[in-house]
Amino acid sequence: KLATKTAQALNEQVELEAASSQYYLAMASWAEVQGYNGIAQFLYRHSDEERVHMLKLIHFINDRGGHGIVPALKQPDLEFRNIHDIFEHVLTHEILVSTEINKLIDLCLQEKDYTTHTFLQWYVTEQIEEEKMARQILDKLKLIGEDKGGLYIFDRDMGTMRTED
Ligand code: OFO
């Protein structure tokens, strides 16, 4: 059975994944309104994936005898300066999520909770992918700079770009 302390820490991660989903949803909606439909589609998909990350945690907590707590919704930032700004936010956010996952791993080791430790490996791998993807996108955006044609093609390609899950 999950220790109360671990269940609490996992529920904080539930909240962070839910907040991530909301955050990407706000970015998607902003991008769509600005006419960046491909980027919007990418961000809508990313938002859905964050919800899946949240659900995986809830199921795990419940399967281990805890109670997965559905958090309240907080309004995320709604306005962004431009597409570069969006993906800077994505990278900063994913680095924050990775830090939190590492803290959870640390707690599992302290508590000798190897079951939760194993469960969390999926998130460790996922975070490597998410950070990598955000960095690659930012590199592309740096190359594009202010070039409108480049941004147009980038937007089109993002519509079909795979997100991990
Ligand atoms: Fe849940 O991986 Fe991004 O935040």
Instruction: Check pLDDT > 90 for residue 121.
Output: yes
Q: What is the mean pLDDT of residues 64-93?
A: 97
Mean pLDDT, all residues of the chain: 96
Is the Cβ atom of 90 under 6 angstroms away from ligand 1? no
- Token pair, residue 63, equals 């399967």
Identity at 120, one-letter amino acid code: L
Q: How far is Cα 11 from Cα 112, in angstroms, rounded to an integer?
A: 19
The reply, when asked if residue 32 is annotated as ligand binding, is no
Burial of 137 (0-12, 13-18, 19+ CB in 10 A): buried
ipTM of the complex, rounded to two decimals: 0.93
79 among the known binding-site residues? no
pLDDT at 165 over 50: no
132-147 pLDDT, tens per residue? 999 999 999 999 999 9
Give residue 123 CA to ligand 1 midpoint distance, Å.
8
- pTM of the predicted structure, to 2 decimals: 0.95
Q: In sequence order, what are the residues at sequence separation of 6 or more whose Cβ sits closer than 8 angstroms to the Cβ of residue 132? A: none
The pLDDT value recorded for residue 31 is 98
Q: Which residues contact 137 (CB under 8 A, 6 or more apart)?
A: 87, 90, 158
State the CB neighbour count (10 A cutoff) for residue 134.
19
- According to the model, what pLDDT value does residue 164 have? 58
- The mean pLDDT of 1-13, rounded to a whole number, is 97
Question: Does any ligand 1 atom lie closer than 6 A to the CB of residue 49?
Answer: no
Q: For residues 4 and 94, give the distance between their C-alpha atoms in angstroms, rounded to a whole number.
A: 26
**Across 23-37, average pLDDT:** 98
